[in-house]
Structure 1
Amino acid sequence: MMSLPNAIVFAVLAGLALSCSDSGEDASIDRDTLSYKLKSIRNAAEFEENYKTALIGYYNKRLDQPVPVDVGGTAANEAEDVDSGNSSVSGTNLQELGVDEADRVKTDGQLLYVLNAPPAYTIAVDDVAETSLPTEPVVEQDTQSELGIFSLRSAEGDAEKLAALELTGLGIADGLFLHRTGPATRLAVTASSSGAYQPYWYDSSAWGGLSGSVTHVEVSDPYSPRVENSLKISGQIISTRRIGDHLLLASRFFPQIEGIHFWPESAAEKSANEARIRSLALTDLLPTYQYTSDTTERPLVAAEDCFVPESADALGYSVDVISLVSIDLKDLSLASSLCFVGATETFYASSQGIYLATSRYDWQFDDDGMADYAEPDVATDIHAFSVDNGQLSYAASGVVKGQLGWNVARRPFRLSEKDGFLRVVSFTAELEEDKSPVRLTVLARDGGELKTLASLPNERHPQPLGKPGEELYGSRFVGDRAYFVTFRVTDPLYVLDLSNPEQPFVAGELQIDGYSDYLHPLGETLLLGVGKDAIPDESGDQQRGAWYQGVKVSLIDVADPAAPAELQSVVIGKRGTESPVLRDHHAFTYLAGQAGGPDRFAIPLSVHDGAAAYEVDQSLPWAWHEWSHTGLHLFEIDINNRTLLPRGALKITTRESGNGMVSAEQDRSIVAGDSVFYIHGKRVYGALWETPEAINGPR
């Protein structure tokens, strides 16, 4: 067994469930047989009784469990939507066509809207050359959160800053949606009072008292942006999407209870907890919302519109109130809302529906309070919701074996809906030779259930997906195909044929060095992978696998799914090189070819290709190399000739000029015709595509 990475483990996770009924079943019950479906509440009184009972069980369960211990750790569909509506200007890189996602950069093709990222962290460099590049722009650190509006001068490869609006009192602003209503143009700014600090994700009480907001910023006059109104909700925003005029938001609420004993040490404290919880009013148990223009506090969701698990023994559920909310972006009015008691950490939306998913584990504790992850007893619950012109309704629930991974940004890419079928790829962490570490499940709605229609491996196709010890990295569903990458020593890219939902099968497999974290489809014949190169470990350590190196971009031929082939690859930098694309697909920018020209894409990179650090032999695969520059690297793809060509980089800071290392983690870019714009912090750098070294800016 192995410890769960990157989490503060709390003993209460083993049995948190809403007490809808009594059960004497053994806690080791096969989790896949539990009733994971949601059921509606008959009235507010039923919800109040059930939720209070669940809260009492949550707090008083802690008396019998160890104190939390930090266990540490290591470790689209067919096309992208273009928010500009302009085929000559790139937009936000999306998972699903027609489903917009929040990002810190938006454009309409003429104007560029930039939500300032967290500060760019700079690390001092010793013994650098005294000379500096004369044309190199100076990179400064930012401390003030603001919204910047820029005019794009695409013919010149330059931008002009028109206005800046300081955003105060919103909390941590994390994304924008661009929306037009008649002549009015607005930005919806999403924010939360706290970042989603993952080590405490599984403890409900750690999230009490948090709030989120959606703020309208009127930008019809780009020279004079103004905050128009703000909707504030009680509860942490998990994720958002936009379909048409409606913003869809999932939030997590946990009631703050004064005088509660968080870790009761006696029966008396348990009794006091029960009495305190029983004294709460229903309004204390549900989230609320209010506007800055009208401070009246209103219920975000009615108790009658809430759902609970059918089984009180549905292991792994928390006692959060998860709200799904539809907000009309024309006026920030609440169009529809519902909630359920449980947990969710993954939000996936297609044009056909919304899916909220959470993974549940069977925790076992040793005498020291350490929690171990028992394989393979992990499952992911999925709740499906329908949305019709902004109106929400619960549809069905299902469960798949395995989990969706540790990377928050990758999780939605594990799901895909097509023709009413939900396809899910999950990671089971199986280590035995004849077991599969990856599993594909196809689910179909049947009444209130998402029933398993097919899965891989199966009796007809028993071969494992991945080798023992391999982990699931990049995944992408494209029409009737699924692509996913597993990795430990080499990168097996699997191509799955899903044309018959009842009979999926592995069509082909490709073994190449390294791995891909992000997969981008280029029509039906080409696939682009962005990840890391890797060198197999030859030390004899069976656990090591391989040593990752620089960032690798691969062009893969998938015209024949039975024989995928790597046509070309480019490796940028050496060990230590990083790109935000490996963690956030919004950092990847792609623009289809114009007037028969090549396709273009851009990747922000912090490149390490200097001497090996710490006086290590730089020929060794584990040698970490010194940082050399941070910038936006440009590439072209000739679709007809199937070639990949690097086109230079906008290097905004270099070691050679005496600067310290600057992260590219929050960086974005826009490709507009024959120009490219690089957004670093709140500053914009521009250049003509053919001459990226001639940088205009920062603006």
Structure 2
Amino acid sequence: MTRGHLTAAAGTLVALTLLAGSAAALPHHEPEPPPSGPLRLVSFDTCAEALTRLRTAASASVGPWGFQPGWRTGRTPGGLANPAMVPKTADGARAAAGAAAEYSGTNNHEPGADEPDLVKTDGRRIVTVTGGVLRVVDAATRRATGQLDLTGDTGDGDRFGWSPDSLLLHGDRALVLVRSAAVRPAVEPSGRRRAADVPAGPRLLLVDLAGRPTLTGTYRIDGSLLDARLTGPTARVVVRSQPRLAFPDLDKDATDAQRLAANRAAIARAGLDAWLPTYERTEDGRGDAGRVGCDRLSATADSTGTAVLTVLSFDLATGRLGDGDPVSVAGDADTVYGTAGSLYLAGQQQRPGQLRPRGRLGPSDDTTTVIHQFGTGAPGRPRYLASGAVPGTLINQYALSEWQGHLRVATTSSDRRGVRPATESAVYVLTRRDGALARTGTVSGLGRDEQIHSVRYIGPTGYVVTFRRTDPLYSLDLTDPAAPRVTGELKITGYSAYLHPAGEGRLIGVGQEADADGRVQGLQVSLFDVADPARPTRLAQYHLPRAGSTAEFDPHAFLYDPRTGLVAIPVHDGSLLLLRATGGTVTRIGAVAHPGRAPVARSVLVGGALWTVSHAGLRASDPSGGTMLAWLPAA
């Protein structure tokens, strides 16, 4: 087995990974300590070598009852910009001849890396996927121009049992993402109807929008959808799958030792196909199927063998999906962060014998986050660039930020040896050197006994909110990657769960107010003055008792217009709250509600109108106060 960069030598495999370590074979007893040196990718020379590595890793990771609590059969479960408002014209996005109005795009983390969402617009048309139906609306005439039912027969004999939930838009083509789908085949090969739904994993649907919306291609792969990014015309979709291992069901009197031996025997019998994801696609009325080849698989020495990540690449400009040009790694991830030129995959490192349930809340004293960077500046398959690791856990993708060749990473770590876990947070600066993301600087000691609730980076400055009883908002100077430092701290009650830049020296926070003991008291929207890095202050606050907003955990639900100061966020009663944050004030200017109290999920600005989306339909309103201009029911 070899280490280092990818080469052109025959048999060297394309590498992706989320776990790294030494090249020594994995033992079946005490786990190896985490790697202390720079992380390096490991690639296989043969398929037999890949199978040996996966079997060894999975055998070391498995327990008497499977890999993790609740993991029994190994069946892949069914499932698949800095400023939010950037005025654009037809030069930035074209759907057909004619000029497009100014419009707001998806509230992406980074410019140049579009994120999937349930509504997209190019300034001329608005495209949504709600209730399993794709709808197209002409923004100028405020009329529906087409729709496509995506829950019915898709042309390959299957019917969905789950609805699409997001899409990416490029020119006249939409890539619709079905996060998970229980597909109902019309008949079994024997000719009988199948009695139950079949978990089918994520499904991708290519829709042509040039005329009447038309489904032109479908793609289905094992696993669950992690996330996707669109850079130029290229969509890259990250999928996580579990190996298909059939662990035996032993008699209830069997001992743990007998169960463990039986599970390891099942792993020893498994072929490479148990780990390699399968996919199916249809185009031009014809379908075929395939499996990710072993020449597209890689793993690291300390891979647990319990998950496989696959990155698919689709060029939407061609109007065809193809096979997705897949590459896979035996590794795990839960966070995807993208820029115009890079794709980062990050996840907790879990060493064999120390697996923890996915989704466990709170950091652990030995938790390490491993990060891998891939180049996405050119079309096609992403190119591996570097890997690195930092202590602690990420809160979400906003804990990561690439700036001037450096990656900033904010994490929370804890020491559980005492009666009460002692936590603190830090920001690490990593720099790519010789295939490794090497740590060049650290600022630690943030929010002792607290955890990170939100992070935002704006150029060379970082903002970190920690909370347990009060909310320290830390401002950080990250100009020197070797010497990041805290420049100021603001302590207030409550916390901000999402931070958004609001012009020079201003920051908007959306979160919860709290009393002196840390008990939450309802939604709060704060306007911060951060012009003086030594003294951040809160200029104004809007408080809505006993309320919350999806924008606290889903930034796509947040809308900000820097020209007018409009802030729009969904709230607990299903309406869209309209605020204005200007000067030093935050004031309520109105609200938008849909018929039947259908919860408003998203809002976009197109040509001076505020469009809101719910499962009941689309509404155009006056953004200055919410007066209705048009209503387009979903039915």
Q: Is structure 2 residue 109 aligned with structure 1 residue 95?
A: yes
Is 1:528 aligned to 2:508, yes or no? Answer: yes
**How far is the alpha carbon of 1:68 from its aligned partner?**
5.6
How many angstroms apart in 2 are the aligned matches of 1:364 and 1:48? 20
In structure 1, the partner of 2:41 is 38
> Match of 2:552?
582
Instruction: Report the equivalent of 1:474.
Output: 454
Alignment of 1:218-257 (within 5 A): 218-221=208-211, 224-257=212-245
**Residues 548/66 of structure 1: CA separation in 2 closer, same or farther (3 Å cut):** closer
Structure 1: tracts of 5 or more residues without a match: 1-15, 70-75, 117-143, 196-207, 366-370, 406-410, 458-463, 538-545, 607-628, 654-658
Structure 1 Cα separation of the partners of residues 431 and 270 of structure 2: 41
Is the 8 Å Cα contact of residues 551 and 571 (structure 1) preserved in structure 2? yes
Of 369, 380, 387, 1:397 maps to 387
Alignment correspondent of 1:672: 606
SS in structure 2 of the partner of residue 416 of structure 1: strand
3-state SS of the aligned residue for 1:578? Answer: coil
Aligned residue number for residue 10 of structure 2: none
How far apart are 1:261 and its partner, in Å?
A: 4.8
Q: Can you list the C-alpha shifts for 1:552-573, whole angstroms capped at 9, x where unaligned? A: 111111111111111111112x
**Alignment correspondent of 1:52:** 55
Kindly provide the amino acid, as one letter, of the partner of residue 160 in structure 1: R
CA separation of 1:669/1:48 partners in 2, compared to 1, >3 Å: closer, same or farther?
same
SS of the residue aligned with 1:33?
coil
The whole-number CA distance in structure 2 between the counterparts of 1:504 and 1:19 is: 31
2:294 corresponds to 1:297:
no
Paired with 2:614 and 2:40, the residues of 1 have a C-alpha distance of 45
1:209 Cα shift? Answer: 6.1
Structure 2 CA distance for aligned equivalents of residues 256 and 30 of structure 1? 28
Contact 2:509/2:526, CA 8 A, preserved across alignment? yes
Q: Give the alignment of 1:307-456 within 5 angstroms.
A: 307-310=298-301, 312=302, 317=304, 319-329=306-316, 330=318, 331-334=320-323, 336-360=325-349, 375-387=364-376, 388-405=378-395, 411-429=396-414, 437-456=424-443
The alpha-carbon deviation at position 352 of structure 1 amounts to 2.6
Structure 1, residues 285-305: CA drift from partner, whole Å, max 9, x if none? 3113231234222233x3233
Task: State the structure with bigger RCO (CA 8 A, min sep 6), 1 or 2.
Answer: 1
1:178-189 matches, within 5 Å, as 178-180=169-171, 185-189=172-176
Does the CA-based 8 Å contact 1:635-1:644 persist in structure 2?
yes
- How far off its partner does 1:580 sit? 0.9
Q: Contact 1:385/1:394 (CA < 8 Å) preserved in 2?
A: yes
Alpha-carbon separation, structure 2, partners of 1:81 and 1:99: 14
Amino acid at match of 2:496: S
Letter in 2 for 1:392: P
Please state how far the C-alpha of 1:437 moved relative to its aligned partner.
1.1
- 3-state DSSP of counterpart to 1:428: strand
Taking structure 1 as reference, are residues 668 and 67 closer, same or farther at Cα in structure 2, changes over 3 Å only? Answer: closer
Shift, 1:393, TM fit: 2.1
Q: Aligned-pair distance for 1:151?
A: 2.2
Label 1:265 to 1:392 Cα distance change in 2 as closer, same or farther (>3 A).
farther
- 1:112 maps onto 2:126 in alignment: yes
Post-superposition offset of 1:691: 4.2
| Residue number in structure 1 paired with 2:297 | 306
Counterpart check, 1:684 vs 2:618: yes
TM-score between both structures, scaled by the size of structure 2? 0.80
Between 46-55 and 239-248, report the one with greater CA deviation.
46-55
Aligned pairs for 1:253-264 within 5 A: 253-258=241-246, 260-261=248-249
Change (3 A) 1:83 1:428: farther
Report the secondary structure of 1:343's partner residue: coil
The whole-number CA distance in structure 2 between the counterparts of 1:153 and 1:32 is: 58
Structure 1: which amino acid aligns with 2:457?
F
* Aligned-partner Cα distance in 2 for 1:111–1:448: 43
Alignment of 1:143-292 (within 5 A): 144-153=131-140, 159-168=142-151, 169-170=159-160, 171-180=162-171, 185-193=172-180, 210-221=200-211, 224-258=212-246, 260-261=248-249, 265=255, 273-274=263-264, 276-292=266-282
Moved more, 334-343 or 376-385: 334-343
Q: Partner of 1:611 in structure 2?
A: none
Alignment partner of 1:599 is 2:601: no
Q: Name the aligned partner's letter for residue 291 of structure 2.
A: P
Secondary structure of the residue aligned to 2:500 is: strand
Counterpart of 1:648 in structure 2 is 590
Native 8 Å contact 1:286 1:299 kept in 2: yes
User: 2:64 corresponds to which residue?
Assistant: 62
Partner of 1:73: none
Residue identity over aligned pairs, in percent, reads 29
Separation in structure 1 between the aligned mates of residue 305 and residue 39 of structure 2, nearest angstrom: 13
Q: Structure 2: which 5+ residue stretches go unaligned?
A: 1-18, 72-80, 93-99, 152-158, 183-197, 355-359
> Residues 87, 428 of structure 1: CA spacing in aligned structure 2 closer, same or farther, 3 A cutoff?
farther
Encode CA deviations 1:609-639: one digit per residue, 9 max, x unaligned: xxxxxxxxxxxxxxxxxxxx4311112333x
SS at match of 1:47: helix
Q: Deviations over 1:261-295 (max 9, x none)?
A: 59984766656555544444434431132312342
Give the conservation status (yes or no) of the 8 Å contact 2:26–2:57. no
1:426-479 CA distances to partner (integer Å, 9 max, x unpaired)? 01135889976111111111222211111112xxxxxx21132x2211111111
**1:382–1:647 CA distance, 2 compared to 1 (3 A):** same
Aligned-partner Cα distance in 1 for 2:219–2:226: 16
8 A contact 1:631–1:651 mirrored in 2: yes
CA shift for structure 1 position 83: 8.0
Quote the Cα distance in structure 2 between the aligned partners of 1:270 and 1:89.
58
Residue 632 (structure 1) aligns with: 576
Match of 1:510 in 2: 490
Structure 2 CA distance, aligned partners of 1:262 and 1:151? 60
TM-score of the two chains, using structure 1 as the length reference: 0.73
In 1, are the aligned partners of 2:575 and 2:591 still within 8 Å (CA)?
Answer: yes
CA distance in 2, matches of 1:189, 1:448: 34
Aligned to 1:490: 470
Alignment correspondent of 1:620: none
CA deviation string 1:630-671 (max 9, x = no partner): 311112333xx4443321111336xxxxx7xx574x610112
Deviations 1:196-244 (A, max 9, x none): xxxxxxxxxxxx96522211111112xx212111122222211111111
Determine the C-alpha separation between the residues in 1 that align with 2:560 and 2:56.
Answer: 51
Superposed CA deviations along residues 585-606 of structure 1, whole A, max 9, x for unmatched, are 000112231xxxx232311112
In structure 2, the partner of 1:4 is none
Q: What's the CA shift string for 1:324-361, capped at 9, x where partnerless?
A: 22221222134643222121111111123111111146
C-alpha root-mean-square deviation of aligned residues, in Å? 3.4
* Partner SS state of residue 50, structure 1: helix
Residue identity opposite 1:674 in structure 2: G
3-state SS of 1:491 partner: strand
Would the alpha carbon gap of residues 453 and 87 (structure 1) be closer, same or farther in structure 2, given more than 3 Å must change?
farther
Moved more, 82-91 or 318-327: 82-91
**Aligned counterparts of 1:83 and 1:239: Cα–Cα separation in 2:** 25
Whether the 8 Å CA contact 2:240–2:310 is kept in 1: the answer is yes
Separation in 1, partners of 2:421, 2:246: 52
Q: 1:291 to 1:513 in 2, by over 3 A?
A: same
Q: 1:176 touches 1:187 (CA, 8 Å); kept in 2?
A: yes
Cα distance change on mapping 1:83 and 1:337 into 2, 3 Å: farther
* 1: CA distance, partners of 2:367 / 2:117: 32
Kept in 2: contact 1:81–1:99 (CA 8 A): no
